[in-house]
Amino acid sequence: MKKVLFVASEALPFVSSGGLADVIGSLPKELVKNGCDTRVVLPLYSSIKDEYRSRMTYLGNINVPLSWRNQYCGIFTLVHDGVTFYFIDNEYYFKRQMLYGNFDDGERYAFFCKAVLEIMPIINFFPDILHAHDWQSALSVIYLKLHYSGDPRYNFIKAMFTIHNIEYQGIYGVGIMGDVFELSPWERKIVDWNGDINLMKGAIECCDILSTVSPRYAEEIRRPEFAHSLDPIIRDKAYKTRGVLNGIDTEYYNPSKDTSIYKTYSYKSLAGKAQDKAALQKSLALPEKPDTPIIAMITRLTAHKGLDLVVRVIDEILGDDVQFILLGTGDRDYEDFFRSLEYRHHDKVRSIIKYDKDLSKQIYAGADLFLMPSKSEPCGLAQMIASVYGTVPIVREVGGLYDSIKSYNEFTGEGNGFSFSSFNAHDMMYTVRRAVGFYRDREFWNGFVKKIMQIDFSWKVSSLEYIKIYEQL
Ligand code: ADP
How far is 273 from 325, CA to CA, in rounded Å? 16
Q: How far is the CA of 299 from the centre of ligand 1 (A)?
A: 5
pLDDT, one tens digit per residue, over 238-294 is 999 999 999 999 999 999 999 999 999 999 999 999 999 999 999 999 999 999 999
Nearest to 272 by CA among 390, 370, 439: 390
Q: How far is residue 408's CA from residue 418's CA, in Å, rounded to a whole number?
A: 6
Domain 271-453 in the same topology as domain 3-247+460-472 = yes
Q: Is 298 in the pocket of ligand 1 (CB under 6 A)?
A: yes
Residue nearest to atom 18 of ligand 1 (CA): 299
Separation of CA 145 and ligand 1 centre (Å)? 33
* CB of 382 closer than 6 angstroms to any ligand 1 atom: yes
Q: Which of 303, 284, 460 is nearest to 384 (CA)?
A: 460
pLDDT at 250: 92
Confidence check: pLDDT of 441 > 90: yes
Per-residue pLDDT at 18: 82
What are the sequence ranges of the domains in the chain? 3-247+460-472, 271-453
pLDDT confidence tier of residue 219, bands split at 50, 70 and 90: very high
Domain 271-453 belongs in CATH node 3.40.50.2000: yes
What top-level class would CATH report for the domain 3-247+460-472?
alpha beta
Q: Within 345-441, where are the H helices?
A: 357-366, 382-388, 399-404, 425-439
**Sign of the C-alpha dihedral, residues 436, 442, 446, 447?**
negative
Q: Is residue 187 in contact with ligand 1, taking CB distance under 6 Å?
A: no
Asked whether residue 120 carries a pLDDT value surpassing 90, the answer given is: yes
State percent of the chain over pLDDT 70: 100
Residues 92, 71 contacting (CB under 8 angstroms)? yes
Q: How far is the CA of 387 from the centre of ligand 1 (A)?
A: 14
Return the ligand 1 atom nearest residue 327 CA: 23
pTM of the model: 0.93
**Distance from the alpha carbon of residue 354 to the mean position of ligand 1, in angstroms:** 11
Tell me the Cα Rg of the chain.
23
Cβ neighbours around 114 below 10 Å, total? 25
Is residue 358 in contact with ligand 1, taking CB distance under 6 Å? no
What are the angstrom distances between the C-alpha of 224 and each of 166, 196, 221, 298? 11, 18, 7, 28
Among 162, 299, 301, say which to mutate for ligand 1: greatest number of ligand atoms within 8 Å of CB: 299
Q: How far is CA 337 from CA 53, 312, 329, 347, in A?
A: 39, 11, 12, 17
Query: How remote is the CA of residue 43 from the centroid of ligand 1, in Å?
Result: 21
* 248 Cα nearest atom in ligand 1: 14
